[in-house]
Amino acid sequence: MDPIVIVGTGLAGYTLAREFRKLDSQTPLVLITSDDGRNYSKPMLSTGFAKNKDADGLAMQSPEVMAEQLNARILTSIQVNSIDRAGKRLLLNNGLEEAYSKLVLAQGAETIKPPVGGDALDKVFSVNDLQDYGKFRKALPESGKVAILGAGLIGCEFANDLRTGGYEVTVIAPSSSVMPGLLPSAAADAVKTGLTEIGVEFYLEQYVTEVNQADNGVSLTLDNGNALEVDVVLSAIGLRPRTALAGESGLKVNKGICVNRALATEDSNIYALGDCAEVDGLNLLYVMPLMACARALAKTLYGDETSVIYGAMPVTVKTPACPVIVSPPAGNGGEWQIENAEGGLRILNKKGDKLLGYALTGSAVSERMKLNKLLPAVMP
């Protein structure tokens, strides 16, 4: 019998394999990854400097240990180049192929490259996996200066983490506030204030046009003509779901790989979950949704077709300078109402009496459990 093949050993791939093995210990299982296959928790990448952990320190298990635990074959540093849907096989970049009975795409999302010129683009890093993190750490001199491009969740988390780790940090972003798509403005202001108080500098409503070699590090040119010298640049301007493999094989892709609530594409032998998947129209690049998908898909692969349910999906922003938890309202949402709470802000999104979303800052984050019970499910 051909194996179930999972492409990707990130949180989505490994969690699915683990959930499946709870139900079925024997069906042949193969995982294929273009990275080194070490098991790690991606959210920890933006807390590593404060904890003084290098890439090895953040790695939890080697692929050999994972293979044994999962009773699976794990192919590392292998890229899946294409899917032969009619032949139910994958064509790999080592010239070999892998047949599948069921195929699961858990390919994650890739970083968007910043549109900058200059002769020092090799000093512009992005951190989207453990290997990226290792390279970035190696390039960074002790207590050096870092410019972060982008003031989204990942940019702000790295700003806090690098600052706590002893680096001088400047955040440069075209937006007028931090995390504009995620936080209501009062919560964004609180995060910016918290980060400024620990010494992070913000250049908002500006963007970098060039990164060039300088005597000590690199020189950044901004659109308004200003210049800034730093040791390295960390780009955190956004992620794009990896859809090319699915798209080139004729599967429907939109923002992510389109799947129904049973995580199936229109090819009944191919499924997707995690950052690469758009589940019934929703492409959520967070851990909670992929965990729910992994549990549902494991049952489906076992033969018990199961639709995923998303309850409330609050996001914790790891900025200890100003802790925040946010549950963005679906669609247009209601009205934001700001209340002062003990040691922070309670910002509620309501339509009439109905709570649709919230943002809690500072010590008000302790109210999250109470509020989560009142929120509507994201996908009931």
According to CB under 6 A, which one of 106, 173, 195, 292 is a site residue for ligand FAD?
A: 106
d(CA 88, CA 264) in angstroms, rounded, equals 15
* Binding flag, residue 107, ligand FAD (CB under 6 A): yes
* Binding flag, residue 327, ligand FAD (CB under 6 A): no
Residues between 76 and 105 with contacts to ligand FAD, criterion CB under 6 A: 79-80
Residues between 231 and 260 with contacts to ligand FAD, criterion CB under 6 A: 242, 245
Residue 129 Cβ vs ligand FAD, minimum distance, rounded to whole Å: 6
* Binding flag, residue 19, ligand FAD (CB under 6 A): no
d(CA 136, CA 61) in angstroms, rounded, equals 21
According to CB under 6 A, which one of 18, 42, 88, 295 is a site residue for ligand FAD?
A: 42
Backbone φ and ψ of 238, nearest 5°: 145, 170
Residue 226 Cβ vs ligand FAD, minimum distance, rounded to whole Å: 27
37 alpha carbon, distance to own chain's centre: 17
Q: Considering only 8-16, 139-147, 251-259, 299-307, which stretch makes contact with ligand FAD by CB under 6 A?
A: 8-16
d(CA 43, CA 129) in angstroms, rounded, equals 10
The 8-class DSSP code of residue 101 comes to S
According to CB under 6 A, which one of 19, 98, 231, 275 is a site residue for ligand FAD?
A: 275
* Binding flag, residue 13, ligand FAD (CB under 6 A): yes
d(CA 369, CA 372) in angstroms, rounded, equals 5
d(CA 294, CA 263) in angstroms, rounded, equals 9
Residue 240 Cβ vs ligand FAD, minimum distance, rounded to whole Å: 11
Count Cβ neighbours within 10 Å for each residue of 84-102 and write b for 16 or more, e otherwise. eeeebbbbbeeeeebebeb
In order, the DSSP letters of 224-253 are TS-EEEESEEEE-S-EEE--HHHHHTT--B
Q: Considering only 28-36, 53-61, 139-147, 212-220, which stretch makes contact with ligand FAD by CB under 6 A?
A: 28-36
Residues near ligand FAD (CB under 6 A) are 7-13, 32-35, 42-43, 45-46, 79-80, 106-108, 127-128, 154, 242, 245, 274-275, 285-288, 290, 316, 318
